[in-house]
Chain A
């Protein structure tokens, strides 16, 4: 039966080419606009590590106390906690070893002097060795440095595949030495290209930024006094040298723990509260202990990686799609009503209301599909346009080329949405068409 409906639908569309073209255009334009924006939104707000996002936690501790404004009144208990930790608290949590896997880290930037060619600057991460186990980072060759190297603060490094290929083309760099800002580091591993979007483990250093090029031990970086190139929040202007910085309450270190069960997460939170109380007893904090323990899923929502402007554009695009669908409905009404006689004839010959309904739905489906294909072409064009317009943002840390590109997932979603909304919008004209009165139509010949 559906093959017959399809034949009828195709024939009917071909007979009214102009109206068909207009309908396909209306649906296509609406789909194109909304899916262009949706693609960017989807890329910005997807879950980058779905199999583990509920088990990875970042603790927050109230290290600054309630903020006081110039008038002297405090803001109550609803103020935000710093999203990173001061050095001594991060290290204390690490040494307490309350989680099966845990890591401290911060973003660094170093100057690479390759054996051949000019020096260049690369961004990387100073982290403890559990980073790779925590986030399931795959290795191309070698492995992370061992605990001994970490304790001895050795100059070891794990390179990204991209950096390894650039500095050591066509060879395995394991065991070789690379110069990072005038210090030689021994290469112990090469990590596969791994660039989660958004970069959830350091949203403060740019959640949409580029992937790291190298990883060095946290202890080594602290010992060599390598400053953070990521986000940092201090209360007041930082003064004093490196040691003072480590002892200050500036929040610049990230701490991540893997807590597979909710019981473990609860225990960890209790431990955090105890730790904060202890600091209070020691005279460091003068306020009630406040802690937060959020996992990746919560953090992505809390930090809203998507800028509000883009979200607003998303709503506008949805509104635009609604407008296009209303127009498509009008055109469908026109189309079906001009075929009232043909439909009435079929009813008179014995077709049930459901059969007419089915035929019209098939037609709507076909239009939705064609509109989806057209909309897909428009989306591709729209995304290409966005990439061209915002090309300069790639260097400023916003990977437009990755955010605004079609993936197989988006293609499937586009076609599905196009068909679904067209059929949904077409329900009213379809219902009206199925209620055609055979006698009335046939009499008025």
Chain B
């Protein structure tokens, strides 16, 4: 196929070729960036929290009047919850993984450090916390009942033991052996008595360090509180009902809201990345479709402009296949140039996005996949007008000038 011939023909139809080329560039840039973002978001959404996600639910409770003995009320609630058949354990909490409310504490190796060695999301739990969440201990132990103190609003005197996640232990003591070490949490002395395999932070869905969490043995004392309840498999729905009935039976002068299985909380936590991923997917698909339309339109227009030339070439001996391959080659040239532009544009967009959205750079694989998709799409799109061109009768050449 004579490339020069094609190029000369294109030069006469610059506007259309440039428009389609630019459109292909834009489409490729957006498609490969979208693929990369979607893949990263999907990966992010599949990370485990470290707890027994399928069997945990949370609920919020608030007493309408100020309770005379808050400690007794909360302990009464917890006793009632733990007594429900099917419940493995229950605790009172301030926050839980992926709920979006992070209380961060700075941990240091020395008491006089100016800035902390590591920041961690702070969780408060009594001795039932390990079973209530379903975390896995990889070293040491969970808290004992005698270590648990009360957490009151605005009080920040912490007990001297804490449990950390593996990720946090790693960042504090990179050489290992974090168990038993002393750290200073918000300048207060404490010893690490246990290490969990994994416990995600409340803000893990929004990027940043997802696994650095520290647990303190404190029972939250608040008129408004949240409970975490873990049930045996399959019993969650019935226990969710029973729990509300039980709590109202203990004290009916209260509000109970947001009784939510953790899996639903988890889905809600990732609502934004999921929506963005789907929107990017839809936009990419639409762009590809519209680019396809454009290729069909432009090629049809060129075919109609060159009817006589095509007829004459057929009359002079060109086969149908030659006409087909002419248009496919022409399309290939335009797509090729468009793809090169698109790769440059895509990399530029990617650099911008990686900086502002906390994502990693896209790998070459997505560029190649994107280019392949665009190429196949355009070649398919040009097929229909090219077939119509190939069926132009050579007799056109004989119909006068």
Residues of A at under 8 Å CB distance from B? 18-19, 22-23, 25-26, 29-30, 33, 111, 113, 118-121, 181-182, 313, 316, 320, 323-324, 326-328, 330-331, 333-334, 337-338, 385-386, 389-390, 392-393, 443-445
Q: B64, A389: Cβ atoms under 8 Å? A: no
Residues on the A chain within 8 Å of B401, using CB: 444
| A18-B296 Cα distance, complex, nearest whole Å | 10
| A182-B201 Cα distance, complex, nearest whole Å | 37
Among the listed B64, B291, B301, B399, which residue makes an inter-chain contact with A333, where contact means beta carbons less than 8 Å apart? B301
Residues on the A chain within 8 Å of B23, using CB: 323, 326-327
Q: B289, A29: Cβ atoms under 8 Å? A: yes
Q: B65, A182: Cβ atoms under 8 Å? A: yes
Among the listed B253, B257, B268, B279, which residue makes an inter-chain contact with A113, where contact means beta carbons less than 8 Å apart? B253
Given A338-B300, A390-B275 in contact, is the A33-B283 Cβ separation under 8 Å?
A: yes
A-B contact pairs, 20 of them (CB 8 A): A18-B384, A26-B293, A26-B294, A111-B255, A118-B248, A182-B65, A323-B287, A327-B291, A327-B294, A330-B19, A330-B294, A330-B297, A331-B294, A334-B300, A334-B301, A334-B304, A337-B301, A444-B308, A444-B400, A445-B399
Q: A338, B304: Cβ atoms under 8 Å? A: yes
How distant is A120 from chain B, measured CB to nearest CB, in Å? Answer: 6
The 7 A-B pairs of least Cβ separation, nearest first, read A331-B297, A334-B301, A392-B268, A327-B294, A330-B297, A334-B300, A338-B304
Residues on the A chain within 8 Å of B248, using CB: 118
How distant is A314 from chain B, measured CB to nearest CB, in Å? Answer: 13
Q: A119, B64: Cβ atoms under 8 Å? A: yes
Q: B293, A331: Cβ atoms under 8 Å? A: yes
* B267 within 8 Å of A (CB atoms): yes
* B278 within 8 Å of A (CB atoms): yes
Residues on the B chain within 8 Å of A26, using CB: 290, 293-294, 297
Tell which of B20, B275, B279 has the most Cβ of chain A within 10 Å: B279
Find the B residue at minimum CB distance from A122: B255
| A323-B296 Cα distance, complex, nearest whole Å | 15
Residues on the A chain within 8 Å of B384, using CB: 18
Q: A29, B253: Cβ atoms under 8 Å? A: no
Residues on the B chain within 8 Å of A121, using CB: 62, 255, 257
Residues on the B chain within 8 Å of A30, using CB: 290
| A331-B302 Cα distance, complex, nearest whole Å | 11
Given A19-B297, A334-B297, A385-B278: 14 more A-B contacts, CB < 8 Å:
A18-B384, A22-B296, A25-B293, A33-B283, A111-B64, A119-B253, A323-B287, A326-B19, A330-B16, A338-B304, A385-B282, A389-B274, A392-B267, A392-B271
Give chain B interface residues in 236-260, CB to chain A under 8 Å: 248, 252-257
Residues on the A chain within 8 Å of B289, using CB: 25, 29
| A333-B15 Cα distance, complex, nearest whole Å | 12
| A119-B64 Cα distance, complex, nearest whole Å | 9
How distant is B245 from chain A, measured CB to nearest CB, in Å? Answer: 10
* B298 within 8 Å of A (CB atoms): yes
How distant is A377 from chain B, measured CB to nearest CB, in Å? Answer: 14
Residues on the A chain within 8 Å of B268, using CB: 392
Residues on the A chain within 8 Å of B62, using CB: 111, 121
Given A33-B283, A119-B253, A389-B274 in contact, is the A444-B399 Cβ separation under 8 Å?
A: yes
| A443-B64 Cα distance, complex, nearest whole Å | 93
Q: B271, A390: Cβ atoms under 8 Å? A: yes
Among the listed B255, B298, B300, which residue makes an inter-chain contact with A119, where contact means beta carbons less than 8 Å apart? B255
Find the A residue at minimum CB distance from B65: A182
| A328-B23 Cα distance, complex, nearest whole Å | 13
Residues on the A chain within 8 Å of B308, using CB: 444
How distant is B311 from chain A, measured CB to nearest CB, in Å? Answer: 11
| A118-B20 Cα distance, complex, nearest whole Å | 64
How distant is B203 from chain A, measured CB to nearest CB, in Å? Answer: 15
How distant is B73 from chain A, measured CB to nearest CB, in Å? Answer: 16
* B305 within 8 Å of A (CB atoms): yes
* B352 within 8 Å of A (CB atoms): no
Residues on the A chain within 8 Å of B400, using CB: 443-445
Residues on the A chain within 8 Å of B32, using CB: none
Among the listed A326, A338, A386, which residue makes an inter-chain contact with B294, where contact means beta carbons less than 8 Å apart? A326
**Mask: chain B, 4-42; 1 = CB below 8 Å from A; 0 = not:** 000000000000100110010010000000000000000
Among the listed B256, B275, B286, which residue makes an inter-chain contact with A118, where contact means beta carbons less than 8 Å apart? B256
Give chain B interface residues in 261-289, CB to chain A under 8 Å: 267-268, 271, 274-275, 278-279, 282-283, 286-287, 289
How distant is A295 from chain B, measured CB to nearest CB, in Å? Answer: 34
Q: A113, B287: Cβ atoms under 8 Å? A: no
Residues on the B chain within 8 Å of A33, using CB: 283, 286
Q: B297, A333: Cβ atoms under 8 Å? A: yes
How distant is B128 from chain A, measured CB to nearest CB, in Å? Answer: 27
Q: B297, A327: Cβ atoms under 8 Å? A: yes
Residues on the A chain within 8 Å of B291, using CB: 327
Given A392-B271, A445-B400 in contact, is the A113-B64 Cβ separation under 8 Å?
A: yes
Residues on the B chain within 8 Å of A386, using CB: 275
| A445-B255 Cα distance, complex, nearest whole Å | 86
Residues on the A chain within 8 Å of B278, using CB: 385, 389
How distant is B339 from chain A, measured CB to nearest CB, in Å? Answer: 17
| A30-B275 Cα distance, complex, nearest whole Å | 20
How distant is A422 from chain B, measured CB to nearest CB, in Å? Answer: 14
